[in-house]
Structure 1
Amino acid sequence: MTDGTWITLISLGVTVLFMFGVPVFLVIAYWVLGSSFVLGMTLDNIGAALSDVFTDGFALLAMPLFILTGDLINRSGIARRLSDFAYACLGWLRGGLAMASLGACGLFAAISGSNSATTATIGSMLHPEMTKGGYDARFSAATAAAGGTVGIIIPPSIIFIVYGFLMNLPISDLFVAGIIPGTLMVGGMMLTCWVICMVNGWGHLIPLQMSRVGKTAVGAWLGFFAIGLVLWGIYTGKFSPTEAAGVTVGFCLIVGLVSLPLYRLMGLQGQDRPVAEKRYREMLVVEGFSLTEIPSITMRSAQITGILAPLIAISVVMQQILSLLGAQEVIGEFVRGMGGYHAVLFTSMAIVFVSGMILESLPVTIILAPILAPIAHSVGVEPVHFAVIFLVGASIGFITPPYGLNLYVASGVTGVPYFRLLRYIVAYLGALLAVWMIVALTPELSTMLLPTR
């Protein structure tokens, strides 16, 4: 048999493995190993490529640090404070609590940079509150899943780090470029949420009290400070994204360790929740965590990093093999054959959308970005703008079946079966697609905040 036949058989085999639930990393690894043997490539080449990724990829150091940041702010109680602030601002609207959960997703994303962490944290915190407040359990879970999509768009973003590393773009520019599109995504989902809740009459209204807004804003000052610290440092060039991640981890670590003794000193533990919450707001501290909890927090972050890092490395090898096979030329010629600026742009968006339905954003980015980005640039699409277009599309893949990672996460933390989420996820999907189109057709949304050079 020819090499092409063997590789086709290998591809069909790993596709079957993927359909049976084999992890994406193993699916790609099996394909890489099999194709390497067929093409006569040695295992030394694979080892060298993997080594180069981890020894030369300084920017990738920010990834585990931002993952750790998300776990620290969750365990310290900062995430709860941000949620309280969002509800104080939006609770007077029909569906205010659901809208607040979307706002909390945006605020949490501005510190953690992870879609799954955003969905899991906000979903586990606010889903019980929403169901108690009269919201449909399926809608509540779907809202958490949809809100998590902004986790990789609002800076800092783990996937922006990967994209910048692959395409040799300034990660700080990518972070800044994601601010407005990410905010539009949250706004579009909030509008959709409000319409659904108005139609169904969901949500108990609370009066808009500026004193309540002020108290919760002051109570969430640690979260706002962490967000501002990251954005200020990157935007002004005071530190790189990797350094920003280290600074944020240090800040959250200090806050968590200092807050626990204060929390215990005030006697909040063991009290009824209303009494504890009142003193909690007055003293402006979060629960915090102890030194003995740090290993478990770090271990959880390390587990997530241990999943992502090998996937990045093996996907880089996959790129090399696809290049040898001429896949980039085939896809490139197909996209170029579509015509000019808008035809290439929309074709690229369609490819990203379909790929996101069956693959996680990381392999989609690693495999397709090096193919599509140069083609888009050749027809006049600004590289940073295309990065935002590409990654907004990849983020939508988190709620598109059959893969839909956020749907699985939301199902896991809320107990709502996966397929029951789909009824209400369609509306959020439509809102995100509309925002995606607006972002694609309006380059200024991605570039207007970029620092002048």
Structure 2
Amino acid sequence: MTDATWVTLISISVTVLFMIGVPVLLVIAYWVIGCSFVLGLTLDNLGAELLNVFNKGFALLAMPLFILTGDLINRSGIARRLSDFAYAMLGWLRGGLAMASLGACGLFAAISGSNSATTATIGSMLHPEMVKGGYDERFSAATAAAGGTVGIIIPPSIIFIVYGFLMNLPISDLFVAGIIPGSLMVIGMQVACWIICRMNGWGFLIPLQFNRILKTAFGAWLGFFAIGLVLWGIYTGKFSPTEAAGVTVGFCMIAGFVSYPLNKIMGKRSERPVTEKSYAEMLVVQGFTVTEVPSIVIRSAQITGILAPLIAISVVMQQILSLLGAQQTIGDFVTSMGGYHAVLFTSMVIVFVSGMVLESLPVTIILAPILAPIAASVGVDPIHFSVIFLVGASIGFITPPYGLNLYVASGVTGVPYFRLLRYTVPYLVALISVWIIVSLTPELALMLLPNR
């Protein structure tokens, strides 16, 4: 049999393995190993390439710190205070708690920079309360998964750093360009959430009270300070994104140590209602002690241990694809489309389809060097295209069969993966609509940049 026949058979085999529930990491690894044998590559070469991914992937050094930041924000009470503020703003609308969880995802993303950490934190924190508040558990889990998509768009963002490094673009400009599109993604999902909740009568309403908004805003000052600290440090060049994550980890650590004794003394209580007629005064001990830090770090390490091998094997996968001629084929195909909008639309379709089966990092590593120069050749602004590219990649986080956020949401909520899929459809429609608007309106990505 020819090499092409072997590759086809291997691809069909791993697809079957995925459909029967084999973990994505093993599916990709089996495909890479099988194709390596077909191409005559040794396992020694595979091991060396896996090691090189982390030796050269300087941006990946920020990943464990961003994930740890997410866990610390959750345990220190910062995430809950941000969600309380969002609920005070939106609780008077039907589906207000679900909309608030999406808003909290946006605020959380502005600190953590990670889609999976955003989904895991907001999902584990708000999913139980949404279920108590009358929401369908599948919709609640899907909402957490969808909210996490903004984790790589709203700055800071690991994937923007990788993209800027690959394409030699200023990372600070990429961060600024992601602010408005990321905010529109949140708003679009909130509109979809409101429509679905109104149709199903989900959620309880609370009156719009400005004193409550002010109170929760004051209570969330630690979160706002953390957001400002990250953005100020990166934009002014005081520290790199990795250093920003380290500084934020230190800040959240101090906030957690201080919050624990204060809340024990003051008896800090959550004011979020879980019934229509009354407010449930649930005791919430926020913060942590020194003895709890190892368990928090271990949890973050476990998540990193899941994501890092997946990223590494995906990067090796793109090398196999290159050897198979996939990159040349894609480049020739897109170039043949012709004009501005044809190239832009074709590139978006390719990114969307790739995001269905690959994580955003390998999608970026594989396709950005191919598609970005072609887009630039027909007049697409490089910064604008970076936002188009990465918004499309972020949608892949809730697009089966890969849908990393769906797996994360399933893990933290206990709702089976396939039961989430139906309730991701409204969010996919909202995100794709925003994506199209952003692609057709360069000003949304460029208007905050100087000299544009």
Residue correspondence of structure 1 range 190-209 to structure 2 within 5 A: 190-209=190-209
Residues in 2 aligned to 1:275 and 1:37: alpha-carbon distance in whole angstroms: 58
* One-letter code aligned to 1:347: T
- Name 2:281's counterpart in structure 1: 274
CA contact (8 A) 2:355 2:397 kept: yes
1:71-103 deviations in Å (ceiling 9; x for gaps): 110111111100100011111222222211111
Residues in 1 aligned to 2:103 and 2:337: alpha-carbon distance in whole angstroms: 39
CA contact (8 A) 2:355 2:363 kept: yes
1:377-407 deviations in Å (ceiling 9; x for gaps): 3322223322221221122122223333333
Residues in 1 aligned to 2:190 and 2:168: alpha-carbon distance in whole angstroms: 34
CA shift for structure 1 position 20? 3.5
TM-score normalized by the length of structure 2:
0.89
- Name 1:156's counterpart in structure 2: 156
Aligned length: 443
Matching of residue 30 in structure 1 with residue 37 in structure 2: no
Residues in 2 aligned to 1:306 and 1:138: alpha-carbon distance in whole angstroms: 27
Cα gap change, 1:305/1:132 in structure 2, threshold over 3 Å: closer, same or farther? closer
- Name 2:225's counterpart in structure 1: 225
CA shift for structure 1 position 48? 4.3
CA contact (8 A) 1:63 1:161 kept: no
TM-score normalized by the length of structure 1:
0.88
- Name 1:283's counterpart in structure 2: none
- Name 1:85's counterpart in structure 2: 85
CA shift for structure 1 position 267? 5.6
* One-letter code aligned to 2:193: C
CA shift for structure 1 position 263? 2.8
CA shift for structure 1 position 417? 4.3
Cα gap change, 1:87/1:63 in structure 2, threshold over 3 Å: closer, same or farther? same
Matching of residue 176 in structure 1 with residue 188 in structure 2: no
Bigger Cα displacement from structure 2, 330-339 vs 377-386: 377-386
CA contact (8 A) 1:172 1:241 kept: no
* One-letter code aligned to 2:281: P
Matching of residue 379 in structure 1 with residue 386 in structure 2: no
CA contact (8 A) 1:57 1:165 kept: no
* One-letter code aligned to 1:19: M
- Name 1:280's counterpart in structure 2: none
* One-letter code aligned to 1:186: V
- Name 1:405's counterpart in structure 2: 404
* One-letter code aligned to 1:219: G
Cα gap change, 1:7/1:138 in structure 2, threshold over 3 Å: closer, same or farther? closer
Bigger Cα displacement from structure 2, 83-92 vs 395-404: 395-404
* One-letter code aligned to 2:251: F
Matching of residue 327 in structure 1 with residue 334 in structure 2: no
List gaps (5 residues or longer) in structure 2.
270-278
* One-letter code aligned to 1:389: I
Residues in 1 aligned to 2:388 and 2:9: alpha-carbon distance in whole angstroms: 34
CA shift for structure 1 position 225? 0.6
CA contact (8 A) 2:314 2:358 kept: no
Bigger Cα displacement from structure 2, 393-402 vs 99-108: 393-402
Residues in 1 aligned to 2:282 and 2:420: alpha-carbon distance in whole angstroms: 36
Residues in 1 aligned to 2:34 and 2:202: alpha-carbon distance in whole angstroms: 54
* One-letter code aligned to 1:133: G
CA contact (8 A) 1:360 1:405 kept: yes
CA contact (8 A) 1:95 1:197 kept: yes
1:191-250 deviations in Å (ceiling 9; x for gaps): 222223333443332222211111100101111111111111112222221121111111
Secondary structure of 1:25's counterpart equals: helix
Residues in 2 aligned to 1:423 and 1:80: alpha-carbon distance in whole angstroms: 28
CA shift for structure 1 position 372? 2.3
- Name 2:275's counterpart in structure 1: none
Bigger Cα displacement from structure 2, 186-195 vs 22-31: 22-31
Residues in 2 aligned to 1:326 and 1:382: alpha-carbon distance in whole angstroms: 28
- Name 2:114's counterpart in structure 1: 114
CA shift for structure 1 position 349? 1.0
